[in-house]
Chain A
Amino acid sequence: MRVLCCVKRVPITGGKMVLTDDAQAIQTRHLGFTISPHEECGVEEAVRIVEAHAVEAHSGEVVALTLGPGEAEEQLRECMALGADRAIHLVSDEEWDAQATAGAIVEAIRSEEPFDLIVFGNESADAGNFQVGIRVAYALGLPVVTGLKGLTIAGGRARCEQEVPAGRDVYDVPLPAVVTVKEGLNLPRYPSVPAKLRANRKPVDAKPVNRPPAKLEKLRLVVPEGQGKQAEVLGRGADAAPAVVEVMQKLGVA
């Protein structure tokens, strides 16, 4: 089984969002970078699938792919610390729209041995276009199922589960296929120290890519009202317990 996971380097936002002076980007001076939680679940799922379907030890592979600046290698190493075997880095400092991104990824995929499964996050954590996975599937003529919260691979087919109100929709598609996944699909592992060190030694195939003329132009960013940290005091001492339980139930952790 060969699985490709496509990921994107995005800033870790937790505090108040600040834009650059020209409102073209998020001010990242104080921010770290990561991949989205969707993509983390995607990588974890890919690693588990390849492990489960290994005909023999070390057969099959998980490949992580990203399109982004040189620094995005950090995110590829993160993926490899989670268990991906190697990485493809399409290097570009520019910002790409969804169509162009999909085009570059398709080209990269065509130059590789065919993958059985291509995994995307449901949407990127920053732009949130919800498009790249679908465009790639279309271009490659592959079936695509989006927003997965469950995935089972068996007999050359993928059983895909989407969460819908009051239940799940299930799709059954033949491989090769494209899926876009959502946080909650699994509980990704924390990378171990040896896994981190191994990741540093795994190969990254970096190649520059040129952005075609943008078809979707960003004019500027706006920070929505009311954005930022909010703390609500639920109560003090033991009296606060019922309110805490209620919050936990709402979050689905109790």
Chain B
Amino acid sequence: MIGAGIVGNSLAYHLSELGWTDLVLLDKGPLPNPGGSTGHASNFIFPVDHSKEMTQLTLDSVRQYEAMGVFTCSGGIEVARTEERMQELQRRVSSAKAWGIDDVSIITPAQVKELVPYIDESVIVGGFYSPGVGIVDSLRAGTIMRERAQERGALSVFANTEVLGIDVEHGRITGIRTSRGDIATETIVVCCGVWSPKIARMAGALIPLTPAVHQMIDVGPVPHFKDTKGVIEFPIVRDMDTNMYERQDGSGLEIGSYAHRPILHDPEEIPSNEEAALSPTEFPFTEKDFTLQMEHALELIPDVLNDESVGIKYAINGILSLTPDGLPLLGETPEVKGLWSAAAVWVKEGPGVGRAVAEWMTNGESEIDLQSSDIARFYEHQRSRKHVRDRAAEGFNKTYGIVHPSEQWESNRNVRLSPFFLRERELGAAFFEAAGWERPQWYESNAKLLDEYGDRINRREAEWESRWWSPIINAEHLAMRDRAAMFDLTAFAIFDVTGPGALETVQKVSMRQMDVAVGKVVYTPVLSPSGTFKSDLTVMRLGHDRFRVVTGGAHGMADLKWYADHRPVDGSAQITDLTSAYCTLGLWGPRARDILQSLTSADMSNEGFAFASCRTIEIDSLPVLASRISYVGELGWELYVPMEQGAKLWDLVWEAGEPHGVVPAGIGVYGTTGRLEKCYRAFGFELDADFDVVEAGMAWGRVKAPEFIGKEAHVQHRESDPVAVLCTLTVDDHVSRDGTKRYMLGREPVLSKQGKALVDAEGRRSYVTSAGAGPSIGKHILLAYLPPENANVGEELLVEYLGEQYPVTVATNDSTPVFDPENARVKA
């Protein structure tokens, strides 16, 4: 382990807990504070986050800090200066309840004042009170964990020891060279925060983070704090609208900011411990960047700051790690076997990350799902210096931002363009980004369909839900159900598994039977060792020794690594990434067959081209791999051609489709409305490491005979009753107190009819995993795991959305779709 900050120490401890011995922890700095970001962290923890993964990691960290006796509970309040922020705070209440944190509440300015008497309540309109907020002694925690591992005899610690090189042979770690000697090892974890990219590069791997400035000042002594005991008595205040926080620290007050211009550095720019005037990660304060923040702080806490005797005693540009998507970088690097990353981790989630990564290294998975933080998630362009810096800069000022669930990045766009792009732009596509691809979410050219469908399309009255959304999505949906629609699915990740060991590889990784006839398409869950979801994807058998895996763009690179990692050791299987080689055009709807048949002499009839089969057909001069499956519940095909032939394919299908009334349709239909009417599950929403296949209602058919990862657990899951059941719910009444119709967007808590949280026997909360319109059934559809006692068709429940409760009813309690339950359309 390279780096003795909160992450390295925690990792050392948890690895030793899991039975590892011969552990070595290195740091180039002295102990207990080697000079990294842990040493100057503000050390407070607000547990609630909209991300389940981050909240779980933070809650686990709090438990660990508490057990070590280094957590001081102070409570915390996020204050709002605007009504828009108040709505955001209501969303935070929802997220808190969805992730099992119940003691939070919305409070009035007067209540804020009562808890924090030194603020001026006239500048705020309310607050989100989180009593579980507290501060930790992260350096002490690190020392405790390190010493426990040492006491166990499992860990040697070398401070003041610099890494000079990392040895890699045949893509595997073999050793590390340091200023105090060399060590032979097969496993290295890079957990040195802002220095991580520099260290990983020694092994030929990329850790895509950038050091960035977070400004902090300490003022004091505050007369108001004269009689306080300990380090903190008053709740920490986050002034969300100004991107700042203020917290008591003994007799002083610490003020921090994420509001200043993004100030990014390179790891190479960080001074050595010897050269640094303070610590290497405490850069000189750039005062101009903080002027506006001082004015903002003065507005909120004039009683403290207007006092001329309260001086600014300390001010730094603290350096911390930012990533392109704001999430940590965890797991084995895709480039080098045995080289792990545990970087871009903040104090609030440090011990949780330490435990989870230790579990992953030991068992191949962790109790808390780390799918969003998996370092294998990036495509190459997303690891470029420019992308990392552009996105880190854009994300920095959103640290306390109101970020819509569908919000799009503005920087570094138009990187990956499908061959359909020019046509799509002509049609007025609203482009959303998927794995760097520009992908139409809907098309303005379809606005004319709004008249055609009139009242069947509901308009969203509230600005929040109409943001990043258009009623055209629902119109495209209806046109697809009535006629046919073309979809750009080029963002799929595609890779071939080939060679004599190909079948063995896909059998091992995939839950479903892969030893099928050539020309079959199999949709399969991919399981973790404990039988929960690692992914779900489709596999086409293109030949005896050739399997083509097609998976979602967002998680495609992690899936590729998972397959690659499970190839036979004899080298008999190869994996080829074809993501940038093929584009994908989806064509679905009742007229899809007529359109396609008019373009080809191949037999496209149900008998001639059965559901779940694939083969190459000729369309005009193009050999096209056609695969008859559907994620929108319609008759149709995915059509694959080499990138450069995509534009031709689009034009051919478009022209042939015109007499049939084909429309272009966006991912708003593919990913939400079409999918939800069919109750199809989505990875990262319904499917994650918290739930198993039986609970997800996907344990149809027999368990295949060959071994596969997670089989033993999966068989056990089938033999016992599920602890939760994935259900489809529909909303009965959308009208809010002020008369506006409101539409849930996902991640809201599901409550009993009496308004109580639903919790299953494993302590998991019921929350909305996906939400969206069902234009064909005329209802808003929600998916949620419910405890079995509530998973009854017709059961009436409530969903809490932005502080109000709405009645919902369970529509189905298995995978039966709410639209076309017989699946007649798909199999037409």
Contact A30 B275 (CB under 8 A): yes
Alpha-carbon distance between A4 and B30 when the two chains are bound, in angstroms: 45
Stretch at the interface among A90-98, A111-119, A120-128, A192-200: A192-200
Determine if B298 and A192 form an interchain contact, defined as CB atoms under 8 angstroms apart: no
Q: How far is the CA of A192 from the CA of B313 in the complex (A)?
A: 9
> Do A12 and B284 have beta carbons less than 8 Å apart?
yes
- Selected from A191, A200, A228, the residue in CB contact (under 8 A) with B274 is A228
Interface residue ranges of B275-299 to A (CB < 8 Å): 275-278, 283-285, 287, 291, 294-295, 297-298
Contacts known (A32-B285, A189-B311, A192-B312); A12 close to B277, Cβ less than 8 A:
yes
Q: Indicate whether B219 reaches chain A with its CB closer than 8 angstroms.
A: yes
**A170 contacts which chain B residues (CB < 8 A)?**
none
Is B284 a contact of A31 with CB atoms below 8 Å?
yes
Taking a contact as CB atoms under 8 Å apart, the answer to whether A193 and B275 are in contact is no
Contact A15 B291 (CB under 8 A): no
Q: Give, as a whole number of angstroms, the nearest-CB distance from B622 to chain A.
A: 58
A107 adjacent to chain B (CB < 8 Å): no
Complex Cα spacing A225 to B294, Å: 42
- Whether the pair A192, B305 counts as a contact (CB closer than 8 A) is yes
Q: What is the predominant secondary structure among interface residues of chain A facing chain B?
A: loop
**Bound CA span A77–B290, Å:** 14
Query: Is A18 in the interface zone, CB < 8 Å from B?
Result: yes
Interface residues on A, range: 20 to 34
Cα distance, A189 to B309, chains bound together (Å): 8
B-chain residues with CB within 8 Å of residue A74 when the two chains form the complex: 287
Residue numbers in A under 8 Å from B308 (CB-CB): 192, 194-195
Residue among A30, A32, A197 making CB contact with B295, cutoff 8 Å = A197
Q: Is the CB–CB distance between B294 and A15 below 8 Å? A: no
The answer to whether B305 touches A31 (Cβ under 8 A) is: no
Q: Are the C-beta atoms of A15 and B284 separated by less than 8 Å? A: no
> Quick check: B306 and A194 within 8 Å, CB to CB?
yes
Residue pair A193, B312 in contact (C-beta under 8 Å) = yes
CA of A116 to CA of B513, assembled, Å:
95
Residue pair B313, A190 in contact (C-beta under 8 Å):
yes
A229-B30 Cα distance, complex, nearest whole Å: 12
Which chain A residues border B275 with CB–CB below 8 Å?
15-16, 18, 30
Q: Please report the C-alpha to C-alpha distance between residue A77 and residue B287 in the assembled complex, in whole angstroms.
A: 10
B310 at the interface (CB under 8 A from A): yes
Flag if A30 contacts B306 (CB, 8 Å). Answer: no
Which residues of chain A from 195 to 221 have a CB within 8 Å of any chain B CB? 195-197, 200
Contacts of A194 in B (CB 8 A): 298, 305-306, 308
B271 and A193: CB pair below 8 A?
A: no
Q: Are B278 and A197 interface neighbours, CB within 8 A? A: no
Kindly list chain A residues whose C-beta atoms are within 8 Å of the C-beta of B305.
192-194
Evaluate contact between A229 and B274: CB separation under 8 angstroms: yes
**Given A15-B271, A196-B294, A197-B294, do A190 and B312 touch, yes or no (CB 8 Å)?**
yes
Q: Taking the nearest CB of chain B, how far is it from the CB of A84, in angstroms?
A: 15
CA distance A194 to B294 in the complex (A): 8
Q: Which residue of B has the minimal Cβ distance to A189?
A: B311
Are the C-beta atoms of A192 and B309 separated by less than 8 Å?
yes
A193-B294, A194-B298 known; A15+B274 contact, CB < 8 A: yes
Beta-carbon contact of B287 and A193 below 8 Å: no
Chain A: which residue is nearest B278 at the CB level?
A14
Q: How far is the CA of A196 from the CA of B293 in the complex (A)?
A: 12
What count of chain B residues pass the 8 Å CB interface test?
29
A96 to B285 alpha-carbon distance, docked (Å):
27
- Residues of chain B within 8 A (CB-CB) of A200 are 291
- The answer, yes or no, to whether A131 is at the interface (CB within 8 Å) is no
| B603 at interface, CB cutoff 8 A | no
- Decide: B297 and A193 in contact? CB cutoff 8 A: yes
Report the minimum CB–CB distance from B368 to chain A (whole Å).
38
Contact B307 A192 (CB under 8 A): yes
> Does chain B have a CB within 8 A of A130?
no
Q: What 0/1 pattern do residues 25 to 36 of A give for CB contact below 8 A with B?
A: 000011111000
Known: A192-B307, A192-B309. A14 touches B277 (CB 8 A): yes
Whether A32 touches B309, Cβ cut-off 8 Å, given contacts A74-B287, A193-B297, A197-B295, is no
Contact A191–B277 (Cβ < 8 Å)? no
User: What CA separation (Å) do A178 and B809 show in the bound complex?
Assistant: 87
List of A residues within 8 angstroms of B277 by Cβ: 12-15, 30-32
| Complex: A197 Cα to B278 Cα, angstroms | 26
One digit per residue, 1 when the CB lies within 8 angstroms of any chain B CB and 0 when it does not, for chain A 62-100 equals: 000000000000100100000000000000000000000
Q: Complex formed: what's the CA distance from A194 to B277 in Å?
A: 28
* B310 / chain A contacts, CB cutoff of 8 Å: 192-193
CA distance A200 to B295 in the complex (A): 12
Partner of B312, one of A30, A33, A191: A191
- The interface residues of chain A lying within 8 Å CB-to-CB of B273 are 15
Which of A12, A191, A197, A228 touches B291 (beta carbons < 8 Å)? A197
A20 to chain B, nearest CB (A): 13
Cα distance, A32 to B285, chains bound together (Å): 7
A83 to B, closest residue via Cβ: B308
Contact of A15 among B219, B276, B285, B309 (CB under 8 A): B276
CB distance from B745 to the nearest CB of A (A): 40
Chain B residues positioned under 8 Å from A229 (CB to CB)? 274
Closest residue on chain A to residue B274 by CB atoms: A16
Nearest-neighbour CB distance to chain B for A49, whole angstroms, equals 18
Question: What 0/1 pattern do residues 311 to 322 of B give for CB contact below 8 A with A?
Answer: 111000000000
State how many angstroms separate the Cβ of A194 from the closest Cβ of chain B: 6
Please determine whether B312 and A196 come into contact, CB atoms closer than 8 angstroms. Answer: yes
Instruction: Please name all residues of chain A whose beta carbon is closer than 8 Å to the beta carbon of B283 when the two chains form the complex.
Output: 30, 32
Q: In angstroms, how far is the closest chain B Cβ from the Cβ of A237? A: 15
Residues of A within 8 A of B276 (CB): 14-15, 30
A189 contacts across to B, CB distance below 8 A:
311
User: Which chain B residues lie closer than 8 Å to A12 at the CB level?
Assistant: 277, 284
Chain B: minimal CB distance from A191 (Å)? 6
**CB proximity to A under 8 Å, residues B106-149:** none
Complex Cα distance, B277 from A32, in Å, reads 9
Q: How far is the CA of A14 from the CA of B279 in the complex (A)?
A: 10
Q: Mark A219-254, 1 if CB is under 8 A from B, else 0.
A: 000000000110100000000000000000000000
Q: How far apart sit A147 and B523, CA to CA, in the bound complex (Å)?
A: 85
- A residues 1-44 near B (Cβ < 8 Å) are 12-16, 18, 29-33
Q: Which residue of B lies closest to A34 (CB)?
A: B284
A228 to B277, CA, bound (A): 10
Q: Whole-angstrom distance from the CB of B219 to the nearest CB of chain A? A: 7
What's the Cα separation between A197 and B281 when bound, in Å?
Answer: 27
B362 to chain A, nearest CB (A): 35
Bound Cα distance from A192 to B303, whole angstroms: 13
Closest chain-B Cβ to A130's Cβ sits at a distance in Å of 25
Of the candidates A13, A30, A31, A190, the one whose C-beta lies within 8 Å of that of B311 is A190
CA distance A24 to B294 in the complex (A): 38
Interface contact B284-A32, CB-CB below 8 Å: yes
> In the complex, which residues of chain B have a beta carbon less than 8 angstroms from the beta carbon of A15?
271, 273-277
Among residues of B, the one whose C-beta sits closest to the C-beta of A74 is: B287
Q: How far is the CB of B119 from chain A (nearest CB, A)?
A: 15
4 extra A-B contacts, CB within 8 A, seeds A30-B271, A33-B284, A192-B309:
A190-B219, A192-B305, A192-B311, A196-B312
User: Could you give 9 example pairs across A and B, Cβ below 8 Å?
Assistant: A12-B277, A15-B274, A15-B275, A30-B283, A31-B277, A192-B310, A194-B306, A196-B312, A228-B274
9 A-B pairs with the lowest CB-CB distances in the bound complex, closest first: A190-B311, A32-B284, A14-B277, A30-B271, A16-B274, A193-B305, A15-B275, A192-B308, A15-B276
